[in-house]
Structure 1
Amino acid sequence: MAMSPGPLLLVFVLGLVLTLPTLAQDDRRYRKFLNEHYDAKPKGRDDRYCESMMKKRGLTSPCKDTNTFIHDTTNNIKAICGRDGSPYEGNLIISNAPFQVTTCKHHGGSQRPPCRYRASKGYRRIVIACENGLPVHLDESVINL
């Protein structure tokens, strides 16, 4: 007995319609993560670097208190969500290896621009949250590991 393609096609299209918004939201959160925390080839890594990058990435209205930039490839960062990460706390994952990072900390009084930042650079394991295999949040409360 042959089945017509009509019901199967309807189920496929319905599944696609329900899945696409979720994938688009994951992609939007991943792009936000990259904007806030990814800089493959930094120039300087000093206070001026932080002030420039924070402004360029739209993180100065109001002045974000702390932000870390990860200096590596997107593939290596994504791999923390899989083979290169370990469960940490709750839904967080910690990288198995250290990454080169620059952490920018706001100093001064006002939370309004112009924002002034102090840079600290080094290597450390990073703690992230992942959704569908993509990093979507960097836990700034875990800085010294």
Structure 2
Amino acid sequence: MVMVLSPLFLVFMLGLGLTPLTLAQDDGRYRHFLTQHYDARPFGRDRRYCETMMKRRGMTSPCKDTNTFVHGTKNDIKAICEERNGTPYRGNLRISKSPFQITICKHKGGSPRPPCQYSATEAYRVIVVGCENGWPTHLEESFIPPSK
């Protein structure tokens, strides 16, 4: 018995086949965001913290000029991409409704090759993220929230 597949069925099957690729790609961007910017339980938040974390997270070959680590829960950070903790901000970016503890690591200059030396700045700031499909994928900036 020969079965004839309708074009609609073929489109449906193709869509099912591509969906996991799209989800995996988004998941990869989110995981990259976490690698570069997320640290729930920081230790020290000083020069050594920055030098250790930048090296551990693969941002020292060459030395990345500036990087911000956000200290909070993954759920609170993800909520910036939703109404729970975020609002629209400049184009497709979102700004957090609540401030986060952050550590800003800045390369002290000199050679872009390891060993990289960093200074650390502790702060409490609102953050601006880029979101894709409800997941944070890019840390745009952070700034001190205005006084109310």
TM-score by length of 1: 0.89
Tell me how far apart the structure 2 counterparts of residues 74 and 16 of structure 1 sit (CA, whole Å): 29
Match of 2:139 in 1: 138
Match of 2:71 in 1: 71
Deviations 1:14-70 (A, max 9, x none): 211122211111110000000000000011000000000000000001100110011
Mind listing any 5+ residue stretches in structure 2 that lack a counterpart? none
Residues 94 and 53 (structure 1), Cα distance of their counterparts in 2 relative to 1, 3 Å cut:
same
Larger strand fraction of residues: 2
3-state SS of 1:78 partner = helix
1:88 aligns with 2:89: yes
Match of 2:111 in 1: 110
- What is the percent sequence identity of the aligned residues? 65
Tell me how far apart the structure 2 counterparts of residues 97 and 49 of structure 1 sit (CA, whole Å): 25
Tell me how far apart the structure 2 counterparts of residues 65 and 13 of structure 1 sit (CA, whole Å): 46
Match of 1:24 in 2: 24
Deviations 1:83-112 (A, max 9, x none): 111111121111011001001000121111
Match of 2:39 in 1: 39
Q: Displaced runs of 4+ in structure 1, greater than 6 A?
A: none
Tell me how far apart the structure 2 counterparts of residues 17 and 96 of structure 1 sit (CA, whole Å): 37
